[in-house]
Amino acid sequence: MAVIAVVAVVLVAVLAANLLGLVHIGASSSAGSQASGGKTSPDTTVVSSALWSGNDTSPYVDQDGTECGNTPSNYGQRAETVSDSDYDYFYSDSEGGLCRAKKGSSQVDVILPTSKLESANSHTTFYLNKDGDTLYFMEIYSRYNESSDSSFAICSVGADGSGFTTLLEIPSTDKSTGSYSYISGLYLYDHTLYFVVESMSGGSMYSDYTYDVYTMDEDGSNQQKRCSIQHVGASTLFVTKEKVYYSYNCPDTENPGDYSRSSVFSQNLDGSDQQEIYVSNLDWIADGPIVQDGFVYVTESNLTNYAVGDWSFQLTRMDTSGNAPSVIWSGKTGRNSYYKLSAIAGNSVYLAETNDGRLASLISVPLSGGDSATLDTSFAGMDPVLSNSCDCLLLYGYGMGTWSSGAEVSRIGFDGTVFREVVG
């Protein structure tokens, strides 16, 4: 458990920057392959299904019929891609910026070149959202010198690359206190942006963490702090229109490196009615929560053999009040392997099994019950993210060595068949 805790803190620290103030900038400017292996079908193959329409807590198609936001399971994975009926959108270092890939073809266009962004040693784009003809996203500007701090920005750009605007930017480290902050969530509901600012003091699993949830209009105006969550140790939040759900692995002060209790909480967006809706009977909650169609999904894990590094995993589903929790899948894995909670699409929950950061398999767990299936999918990208692309799935991965974003992107069917290799 100690090793996992240290790794988690290191990953948090990589993204960290301090909240010195919410800065409304509003400056705007205009901007105007192939992978290996797998079962591949002809280019004309398209897996058809209706656009996922969401529900009353997390819609993707909004009440007025607009494609607004992203799918819940994409939000649960930092929303590194977003899709509509015509295009998939994602950031790719190898392509040179924010891209859109036309469905049914191999055409990839860079709509926002990296050169149009602020100067930085590296750029990372998370939490992509779409409302009509406009994209909203969070940009990380990583800078490796003391004279210019890293920063986190919420930006917008037209789906054709026009009208790039920085709506809000949070500067880097507060050197006087040694504390850090960063944007750890961006959601779009009913044409309103919801975002989470995560702050921490120190760099251990026993640090104090604060999660502030804000809303603002799509032009960056009308910023309002809605609630704040504070405790020792990190949480993973999922924000809906009215509620915040979060998992919390409480650090064990008597057994350093372990957790004393792992739970899922919910509360209203105004901070009221906080409830512990689920308590895990395993060592820790590994992924989630993801809230979709009236259910909460988490994965949980237990160290079964420390000497050889064996772990057991389980996928648990409950309603949004924590009632009737049920284990809908369980499995085991070895050292350096992991089951990541991924897309919820096509009547299944998908788990991505990774080994040393590479995709080992995809597991499809039917929501209606029955046996899970291991899908035959080949993908070379590191740290794979499996997104719901509405009419199919999108595998998004990083490159080796340079750890470049979007080094490989493939469209796959709900059965795991690779039918379009977009970038690679």
SS (H, E, C) 202-266: CCCCCCEEEEEEEEEECCCCCCEEEEEEEEECCEEEEECCCEEEEEEEEECCCCCCCEEEEEEEE
Report, as an integer, the average pLDDT of 283-306: 93
| Identity of the amino acid at 345 | A
Q: Rg of the Cα trace of the chain? A: 20
Report, as an integer, the average pLDDT of 224-249: 96
pLDDT of residue 404: 72
pLDDT of residue 24: 36
Q: Provide the 8-state DSSP code for 49.
A: -
CB of 126 closer than 8 Å to CB of 137: yes
Tell me the percentage of the chain whose pLDDT exceeds 90.
56
**Angle, vertex CA 319, rays to CA 318 and CA 325, nearest 5:** 25
pLDDT of residue 65: 63
CB of 156 closer than 8 Å to CB of 180: no
Give the lowest-confidence range in 79-88, 119-128, 249-258: 249-258
Q: What are phi and psi of 266, to 5 degrees?
A: -135, 155
pLDDT of residue 381: 85
Three-state SS string over 306-366 comes to CCCCEEEEEEEEEECCCCCCEEEEEEEECCCEEEEEEEEECCEEEEEEEECCEEEEEEEEE
Please state, as a whole number, how many other Cβ atoms lie within 10 Å of the Cβ of residue 340: 19
Dmax of the chain from CA atoms?
A: 59
Residue 235 has pLDDT above 70, yes or no: yes
Report, as an integer, the average pLDDT of 406-413: 86
pLDDT of residue 230: 95
**pLDDT per residue as tens digits for the range 203-219:** 677 888 999 999 999 99
Is the pLDDT higher at 178 or at 369? 369
Report, as an integer, the average pLDDT of 108-126: 92
**pLDDT per residue as tens digits for the range 314-328:** 999 999 999 999 999
User: d(Cα 105, Cα 96) in Å, to the nearest integer?
Assistant: 20
How many domains are contained in the chain? 1
Of the pLDDT bands very low, low, confident and very high (cuts 50, 70, 90), residue 349 is: very high
**Judging by beta carbons within 10 Å of its beta carbon (0-12, 13-18, 19+), is residue 331 exposed, middle or buried?**
middle
Give the lowest-confidence range in 27-36, 81-90, 377-386: 27-36
Host H or E run for residue 4: helix 2-15
Distances 181 to 19, 178, 213, 293, 325 between C-alpha atoms, Å: 5, 10, 13, 31, 34
Is the pLDDT higher at 179 or at 169? 169
Distance between terminal CA atoms of the chain? 35
CB of 77 closer than 8 Å to CB of 137: no
Residue 6 has pLDDT above 70, yes or no: no
pLDDT of residue 23: 39
Tell me the percentage of the chain whose pLDDT exceeds 70.
81
User: d(Cα 31, Cα 216) in Å, to the nearest integer?
Assistant: 24
pLDDT of residue 175: 64
Of 86, 82, 160, 162, nearest in space to 125 by CA: 82
pLDDT of residue 299: 97
User: Is 157 in a helix, a strand, or coil?
Assistant: strand
Domain extent, residue 167, equals 2-423
Give the lowest-confidence range in 29-33, 187-191, 235-239: 29-33
Extract the tokens encoding 408: 């490989």
Give the lowest-confidence range in 1-10, 88-97, 257-266: 1-10
Report, as an integer, the average pLDDT of 354-369: 92
User: pTM of the predicted model, to two decimals?
Assistant: 0.85
Give the lowest-confidence range in 6-10, 32-36, 186-190, 330-334: 32-36
Q: What CATH number should be reported for the domain holding residue 399?
A: 2.130.10.150
pLDDT of residue 146: 63
User: Is 75 in a helix, a strand, or coil?
Assistant: helix
Of 300, 303, 264, 304, nearest in space to 284 by CA: 300
pLDDT of residue 200: 87
**Peptide bond just before 256 cis, omega within 30 deg:** no
Query: What is the number of residues in the chain?
Result: 424
Report, as an integer, the average pLDDT of 243-270: 90
